[in-house]
Structure 1
Amino acid sequence: MIGDREQVYENIRTAVSLNQLNSKVEPGDPKLLREDKEALLRHYIDYRTAYGFCVKKYIAEAIFHAGTSAVGLITQVDGLENLSGIRGPAIVTCNHFSPLDPAIVRFAMRKAGFRRISIVNQDSNLAMKGFVGYMQKYADTMPVSSLKWFMETEFPNQIENALDENKLVLIYPEQEMWFNYRKPRPCKRGAYLYAVKFNVPVISLFVEQQVKSIHLHTFRVHVLPVIYPDRQLDERTASLRMQHTDYEQKCAAYVMAYGKKLTYDFEEGDIVGR
């Protein structure tokens, strides 16, 4: 694991030097051929209504709930006043730096009075093994894919169904996880496109990471102003405006949290614990 993390840090350093701020840096992620993705997604679609899937989902959500409570012991939430008046469904966006992200976000949203949240993750996570793989498949997650047929039909239906159930939907606009990376990275447009398409707001979060001691890594969730779709604009323009606004908010939150200018020149302090 130590060697893997060292490789991740070097991959981050290389990606920053190449200005590839949304690239994959985790060397252990499953690498799937198109036919493997097809098989995984077809099985997911067929299996998700089965009794066995529902039982596993119930167990995974119970574990996730307990993990959220544990993460809450080292997490502080600021800016909840920005969510006053928000009661219905919404898209949630957050910087992506840890497998703990979903629990951190869920804890913050629980403080705001939201109980139900679905998490969008990569289709390759369906191939993960062990406990992490179990949670990736069953803890109220929904896969996103590069396969055209899935993204044209199944994925929008998943988003719409979750929103219709008054859930929050967590989408990481940075796309890939960069372990313990402090800086916000440019946002991809997908989250904001669905916000416009289904006419829901975006709850914008930025998580600050601090090291209190060699053994204590803590988090502060900054709840930023809610971003609403402009219904007077066309879908593309409205989503691009939301995308830009969210990134700017996250950049400003970084400057406020760490008291330093945001640049993408690599420094060892960009990665917590380095």
Structure 2
Amino acid sequence: MKRQTLMVLMMVMLCGVGSFAADPFEFIPNQRPAGEPLAKLPGGIPSTEGKVTLFADYARAVKGQDVDVYLINRSDRDIVLGSQDGDVYLKLETRKEDGSWVRVQPHAFSWCGNSYGRMKVKKDCFCKINGHQPKEGKPATIRFRLYMQGRLDLATDAGEGLVSEKEAEQAATDVLAVEKGSFEFVRDIATGARTIVNTMDHNKDMQEIAIMALGSGRFPKEKVEPLLDEIGRRFPGKLADVTYARSRLIEKDLKK
């Protein structure tokens, strides 16, 4: 495995993002607090008692400008969000014709470990996050969703906004697309049946990224293990990546 990629993967594990996301309800001391008391929440922003919710304020949005998105913590405990340079991985999605949602905002991972951290949102507090909108794009039905936050899988209500075709194409081939992609998508890249080009950051070996994703624990072991055997046989240069993916699977089993 390339030294630079290995360094980034190690920082991902240490910082609790990606497939290694920490429990967002876990108490971790000395986290940077964020947010304001619920009493300061603007009028018309709904929230649900006992829950963590995400709301996009489309009513006050201006075309071509970011949408105000409110993360509201009315649970009984503080929550901790993984972040990268202040970005908590809130991403723009659009609804497809079949009713499913697809991410259309690309993500560039940082090569520097100092970029990654955690942000604590105290109970009975909220924080406002910028929901990305391109300066130009096609009108579409959109929403915003938190990525890479472990069990905290939240999306906003739907609204009308803009989607950039170029950004959508980049989002379909970035590292996050592989990290969160379907088994078939990841399998095809890991086995070389499909090639994609990531233009967003320093991670250029997408086969390597896909092999790491196979070790994430997201997919059934009975599908992954024979596939890793096949990749190891066909691509001797990827044996180190295959070994590391296997070690991740073993680590997941030990934690069960």
- Where relative contact order (Cα < 8 A, 6+ residues apart) is larger, the structure is 1
TM-score of the two chains, using structure 1 as the length reference: 0.26
TM-score, normalisation: structure 2: 0.27
Larger radius of gyration: 2
Larger fraction in strand: 2
